Amino acid sequence: MHINQTHNYPHPLHSVFNLFADSAFIEEKYTLLGARNIKIKKINLLDANLYVDSRREMPASEDIPAVIKKFMGEWNRVRQKEEWTQTTDGWYCQFSVDILGVPVRISGTMSLRSTATGCENSVFIDINTSIPFIGETLCRFVGQNAQRLAQQEFSIILSHLNESVVV
């Protein structure tokens, strides 16, 4: 399953990027997304590169199809790794998300660029599995949740930026 989203922010690129490198904000964001036991294992911003390694437990959705319930717990341990590189027009990120015990591979990219009215983050997520038959159902379920969470993350970032603007 492939997911494409474009998140437009009426804020400067550096303001948005700084949130991706802020451990306190990352913890706040994950908490607002419903996570618990959040650990930022590593944040390393050096010159034109940022590396983020985080762990959290996320609650399973209530609408899990019966055929894939054996893969999903009530709470699922998640590890997310992001590698950001500065480009001539912004920042580019390759990321992976591992859900312990769930046989899917989640990877993707983000491209954060300035626009005339602020900046935009182009998000691409790829979800796949090698499990035959029920794999498609599993990928679709994980993909629908990833799509919803990416949209909620955008809303959280936008709200935070809007609240921090002094009028």
Q: Is the pLDDT of residue 2 over 50?
A: yes
Average pLDDT over residues 79-83: 98
Tens digits of residue pLDDT in 104-122 = 999 999 999 999 999 999 9
Q: Is the pLDDT of residue 142 over 70?
A: yes
Q: What is the pLDDT of residue 71?
A: 80
Q: Mind giving me the DSSP string for the chain?
A: -EEEEEEEESS-HHHHHHHHT-HHHHHHHHHHTT-EEEEEEEEEEETTEEEEEEEEEEEPPTT--GGGGGG--SEEEEEEEEEEEEETTEEEEEEEEEETT---EEEEEEEEEEETTEEEEEEEEEEE---SSTHHHHHHHHHHHHHHHHHHHHHHHHHHHHHH---
Tens digits of residue pLDDT in 4-51 = 999 999 999 999 999 999 999 999 999 999 999 999 999 999 999 999
Q: What is the pLDDT of residue 167?
A: 44
Share of the chain above pLDDT 90, in %: 80
Q: What is the pLDDT of residue 66?
A: 81
Q: What is the pLDDT of residue 165?
A: 60
